[in-house]
Amino acid sequence: MPIDPYILLLLGTVGLAALLPARGTGADVASGASTAAIAFLFFLYGARLSTREALDGLKHWRLHVTVLACTFVVFPLLGLAARGFVPVFLTDPLYQGLLFLTLVPSTIQSSIAFTSMARGNVPAAICAGSFSSLAGIVVTPLLAAALLGGGAGGFSADSLVEIVFQLLVPFLAGQLLRRWIGGFITRHKKVLGLVDRGSILLVVYTAFSEGMVQGIWHQVSVGRLAGLLAVEAVLLALMLAVTWYGARALRFGRADRITIQFAGSKKSLAAGLPMASVLFGAHASLAVLPLMLFHQMQLMVCAVIAKRRSRDPLPEEAVTSPGPGAASRTAVGTATRSG
């Protein structure tokens, strides 16, 4: 069972915010730095996304439509159904956070890693994660406006303008400048990866500091956290079943089913935390808690599933079947067999 070291850093940041929350001038400085960090994060997301890879992925459009439907249709529907757990298992603020996590785009890195481990369609996983992240910049705020309403701090024209300028404009700027800075981004991806993670830690510290100052953490008890974990376990189990058996019903091959399961059942912590900071403002600390817990849960469960799938015999159709994505599946199968 893997424990993501970054989760430990996030928890440490939460602990720091609980012991030493930013107040007064310090809170203003942290808030300004957090805003700049979020804009820079989405600039980097745009600079990293390969337009050519995304266009090449359109050849396997059925798979990508299926993943997007799981991420932005099935997940939110299950999130809305979870309203029935209020107030027995969840408080209303925790439910708002749970619903928000169902609106967040899918992951990229972990989807690729688990797909590769399970001998799935890795090129499709790369494109699926990229499409989901790109769509999420627009779709997630729109879904939040429609489904969360006042729970996300209220959506006004000003808040929508803030979302556009803080998320979408930096992303588009990164895409436009990729031609000139793409090489630099690739050469220094390790250093920029640390900047990514450090920026997210700053966002978390700012959000949880505001929560501590306002005293909203008195709303969460151990029993409520246990209830939240139980609801999230059911949510993850349902999505893993829907993506696997639904893909089979749609007649996808084994390699593509693996990609759909891992890309369609997970949520991105890296994209969700900055978005929550923009959408929820001072209430972001409770809003991101369900996402942080779900992130660790999905890593642990999907690692076990990927390891089991890696021992499955590779069916003939995954190597020789024509049709969409067959060439990429053959390449992946050859690569995994050759070590």
pLDDT tens digits along 84-98: 999 888 988 899 999
Which CATH number belongs to the domain containing residue 193 in this structure?
Answer: 1.20.1530.20
| Tens of pLDDT, residues 138-195 | 899 889 888 886 555 545 556 667 777 888 888 889 888 988 998 898 888 888 888 8
Q: What pLDDT does 328 receive?
A: 42
My answer on whether omega of the bond before 87 falls inside 30° of 0, hence cis, is yes
Cβ proximity of 119 and 335 under 8 Å: no
Q: Which residues contact 156 (CB under 8 A, 6 or more apart)?
A: none
Whether 331 is in a domain gets the answer no
Q: Which pTM does this prediction carry?
A: 0.79
**Mean pLDDT within 121-135:** 85
CA 331 – CA 132 distance, rounded (Å): 24
Number of domains present in the structure of the chain: 1
Domain that includes residue 210, residue range: 8-308
Whether 318 is in a domain gets the answer no
Cβ proximity of 6 and 197 under 8 Å: yes
Whether 111 is in a domain gets the answer yes
Whether 329 is in a domain gets the answer no
How far separated are the first and last CA of the chain, in Å rounded?
24
Tell me, letter by letter, the H, E, C secondary structure of the chain.
Answer: CCCCHHHHHHHHHHHHHHHCCCCHHHHHHHHHHHHHHHHHHHHHHHHHCCHHHHHHHHHHHHHHHHHHHHHHHHHHHHHHHHHHHCCCCCCHHHHHHHHHHCCCCCCCHHHHHHHHHCCCCHHHHHHHHHHHHHHHHHHHHHHHHHHCHHHHCCCCHHHHHHHHHHHHHHHHHHHHHHHHHHHHHHHCHHHHHHHHHHHHHHHHHHHHHHHHHHCHHHHCCHHHHHHHHHHHHHHHHHHHHHHHHHHHHCCCCHHHHHHHHHHHCCCCHHHHHHHHHHHHHHHHHHHHHHHHHHHHHHHHHHHHHHHHHHCCCCCCHHHHCCCCCHHHHHHHHHHHHCC
Cβ proximity of 203 and 43 under 8 Å: no
Q: Which residues contact 214 (CB under 8 A, 6 or more apart)?
A: 282
Range among 2-16, 63-77, 122-136, 161-175 with highest mean pLDDT value? 63-77
What separation in angstroms does the CA of 194 have from each of 2, 41, 170, 277, 280? 20, 11, 19, 20, 25
CA 192 – CA 47 distance, rounded (Å): 12
Whether 332 is in a domain gets the answer no
Higher-scoring residue by pLDDT: 241, 14: 241
Question: Is the pLDDT at 123 greater than 60, yes or no?
Answer: yes
Whether 320 is in a domain gets the answer no
| Tens of pLDDT, residues 250-287 | 999 999 999 999 999 999 988 888 888 888 776 777 88
Q: Give the residue from 238, 239, 229, 276 showing the smallest Cα distance to 101.
A: 276
Residue bearing tokens 């031609």: 179
CA 67 – CA 73 distance, rounded (Å): 10
Whether 328 is in a domain gets the answer no
Confidence of residue 336 (pLDDT cuts 50, 70, 90): very low
Question: Is the pLDDT at 300 greater than 80, yes or no?
Answer: yes
CA 94 – CA 211 distance, rounded (Å): 13
Distance of CA 135 to the CA centre of its chain: 12
Q: Give the residue from 110, 178, 140, 112 showing the smallest Cα distance to 273.
A: 140
Whether 108 is in a domain gets the answer yes
